[in-house]
Structure 1
């Protein structure tokens, strides 16, 4: 009966508009939710078979829910360095637990990048979802995969232990006095005598006091221990503008395989204008033809031959590049301007940084920075087909297609914005307008039911 179908059509209108109201309510309630994607209920008509000519049977309306996951929210600055926004396509890979992840445990996808460090050192967002990333090995390699999420682990910045960086480079900036009077002991000087003087503190026939020995530097070994290396210089008169140089350890007992802690010796050559002669060659110069730095190779205590650390120290070999290219010889007092060695003693984690390339780095109180993880962004052929779950996250579905995890900014993936968050995609003006139209449509559907009821009442009253 057409009147019955009209009443049922009115009921379908009430149900569909109720769904629309629920979606609008969700949108308004999440106007301040990080990276929230709005939902919308669209309407589709239902057509029934018109079996009898001249009569019409109402089919009503059905509600179709649509989500706008691919809609980009505004990137806004945040106060924390671990707040991460995504400008472009892609999702963070997250999990519901930090440790004990099994291959069968589900991984979720989210754009809610409000991450912070929890008590156990994991990066978690406001929904307590743990950020996943590819671990970075000590040699800088990354075992990544675009489709195997089990290679990712929950990122932890506190269970790293201390950080140590052995000294690899030292840059020396100093001046040697051109007017320095040549020492009387220079005529009989033999390499190693300045190291002998440093060891004994007394000048003798076999221990020559240097003209300048203030080039001292602390180097760090592989275990975080510090050692003092000294460069001593003695002016030579044959040829002019040359200096004898010795590099030795203080105390001498730290070096084995050489006398008085001597590591290496040679000549330093200057040009007539006081600049260092980087092209000087010969077996006794401390510089090669290209002016390359002095390479101090101090072997481990187990080395068979050559200069090495004393066995009692029990440390690894050291390869140090000593750059003396900024050494000058002017008619001014011999002085050290600066000595800049790299390397760092044992340090503890004091912070975390995330780069635009998605690399998570831990910073230590010894100014050392260690790269610990690489964030990957998962992309989908149809992100609007993802299944929403609690915590502003999503699961992959058949409609969304297979994911592919990529480096930020590569192959269509968006870029990570550190210290920023993606705002909710809800437009309040559009939602309040939708409230008005939904309310009116609901009232109109209710009128269909009351009108059909009145017509049925008239039909019943015919018998009277």
Structure 2
């Protein structure tokens, strides 16, 4: 009967507009939710099969939820360095527990990037979801596989301890007086042997102190001692530890390396002569191997086997790692020179740092999470992973402003930020809700009117049925 179908159509209108009201209410309630994507009720007509000669049968209306997940919200600046927004497409990969996840555990996806460091050092957002990424190894390298979700791990910044960097390079800028007399306060120069200055049988004509840091950040000094040689423009050089007890074997008196350095008639280091042969004209070895461009000294680890001369180790009690230091004595702006002016140290420049504590965490636009220490050392911890989908609007919503993969969304694609269509990371920024209050309140009014109109259909149909019943009377 057409009147009955009209009443049922009115009921469907009430149901559909109730769904619309629910969607609008959800949007308004989440107007300040970070990364929230608005939803709406999409109406579609329901048509009943029509039988000829019996009048029209109203089918009514049906409402289905439509999610605007792909719509991007505005990024807003915050004061927290762990607040993350995505400038472009993609979702953070998150999990409900920080540890013990394997490939069978479900991952969730969100754009709610209000992450904070929890009591265990993990990055967790306001919904209690833990940020996933590719961890870095001890050298800061990232081994990621976009097709393997099991490579991801919850990013932990609290497990990063202090850091130190050993010295690997030393630049010496100094002058040796070219008119320095030979054999000043020393035995005949021809009797000089390597280690004589370390042993105290030869008094250095000049010394340069070179500060270095060991593998634990300990501060140590090396001494470069110089004695004018018997050949023109050449000097005997010994590099020793300022504290001889730091070096094994003990009989070396702290000496690490000894040899000869040659200078040109114009006062610059004569690299060409030293690169032409392994020794000078007197058969003495050069201090550094310019033939193979190996201008380094090496001190083996404390735990290494007993050294065989000319090898030396750090003392066992120090417990520090092997160290190779490259000496730059031929700097274009300075270096070691031999001019007829007083011997003087211009500068000694070394890298390496003392032990430092974690001072801050920095996250770059490519998603690299970097620990910065108060001694200037930086250490890469992880790289944030982003996931993209063929059909973003088809993702299934779950609590916590997150999403799950659905049959219609397609499988995820893991990407590094800024690559393959994924957006870049915006640190100290959060994505605002995509809810427009003016549109929602307008929709609220129209939905209310539509609901009232649908209820009026039922009232009118009821009155018509009542009239029909009165006919019998």
Tell me the TM-score normalised to structure 2 length.
Answer: 0.87
The 8 Å contact of residues 293 and 322 in structure 1, kept in 2 or not, is answered as no
Equivalence for 1:202: none
**Total equivalences in the alignment:** 453
Q: Which moved more, 1:13-22 or 1:329-338?
A: 329-338
Q: Could you say if the C-alpha distance between residues 118 and 175 of structure 1 is closer, same or farther in structure 2, counting changes exceeding 3 Å?
A: farther
The 8 Å contact of residues 124 and 131 in structure 2, kept in 1 or not, is answered as yes
Q: Could you say if the C-alpha distance between residues 418 and 194 of structure 1 is closer, same or farther in structure 2, counting changes exceeding 3 Å?
A: same
Equivalence for 1:342: 351
1:318 aligns with 2:323: yes
Q: Which 4+ residue blocks in structure 1 deviate beyond 6 angstroms?
A: none
The alpha carbon displacement at 1:168 in A equals: 1.9
The alpha carbon displacement at 1:49 in A equals: 0.6
Equivalence for 2:299: 298
Q: Could you say if the C-alpha distance between residues 102 and 287 of structure 1 is closer, same or farther in structure 2, counting changes exceeding 3 Å?
A: closer
SS, match of residue 81 in structure 1: coil
The alpha carbon displacement at 1:180 in A equals: 4.9
Equivalence for 1:201: none
The 8 Å contact of residues 170 and 351 in structure 2, kept in 1 or not, is answered as yes
Q: Unpaired runs of 5+ in structure 1?
A: 198-206
Equivalence for 2:71: 71
1:439 aligns with 2:448: yes
Q: Which moved more, 1:52-61 or 1:277-286?
A: 277-286
The alpha carbon displacement at 1:344 in A equals: 3.4
Kindly report which structure 2 residues correspond to 1:267-286, keeping only aligned pairs within 5 A, or say none: 267-281=260-274, 282-283=277-278, 284-286=285-287
Q: Could you say if the C-alpha distance between residues 9 and 255 of structure 1 is closer, same or farther in structure 2, counting changes exceeding 3 Å?
A: same
Equivalence for 1:414: 423
Alignment deviations for residues 254-288 of structure 1 (CA, whole Å, 9 cap, x no partner): 22346322211233344455444443424344455
- Distance in 2 (CA, whole Å) between partners of 1:58 and 1:236 is 113
The 8 Å contact of residues 123 and 131 in structure 2, kept in 1 or not, is answered as yes
- Distance in 2 (CA, whole Å) between partners of 1:427 and 1:275 is 73
Q: Could you say if the C-alpha distance between residues 352 and 20 of structure 1 is closer, same or farther in structure 2, counting changes exceeding 3 Å?
A: same
The alpha carbon displacement at 1:215 in A equals: 2.5
Equivalence for 1:215: 209
The 8 Å contact of residues 288 and 296 in structure 2, kept in 1 or not, is answered as no
Tell me the TM-score normalised to structure 1 length.
Answer: 0.89
- Distance in 2 (CA, whole Å) between partners of 1:406 and 1:70 is 17
Equivalence for 2:252: 259
The alpha carbon displacement at 1:30 in A equals: 1.7
Q: Could you say if the C-alpha distance between residues 85 and 336 of structure 1 is closer, same or farther in structure 2, counting changes exceeding 3 Å?
A: farther
SS, match of residue 433 in structure 1: helix
Equivalence for 1:352: 361
The alpha carbon displacement at 1:296 in A equals: 0.8
1:429 aligns with 2:438: yes
1:36 aligns with 2:33: no
The alpha carbon displacement at 1:315 in A equals: 3.4
Q: Could you say if the C-alpha distance between residues 331 and 421 of structure 1 is closer, same or farther in structure 2, counting changes exceeding 3 Å?
A: farther
Q: Could you say if the C-alpha distance between residues 116 and 339 of structure 1 is closer, same or farther in structure 2, counting changes exceeding 3 Å?
A: farther
Q: Unpaired runs of 5+ in structure 2?
A: 279-284
Alignment deviations for residues 281-328 of structure 1 (CA, whole Å, 9 cap, x no partner): 243444555894731112234144232223444433221212223324
- Distance in 2 (CA, whole Å) between partners of 1:53 and 1:276 is 112
Q: Could you say if the C-alpha distance between residues 172 and 17 of structure 1 is closer, same or farther in structure 2, counting changes exceeding 3 Å?
A: farther
- Distance in 1 (CA, whole Å) between partners of 2:454 and 2:291 is 89
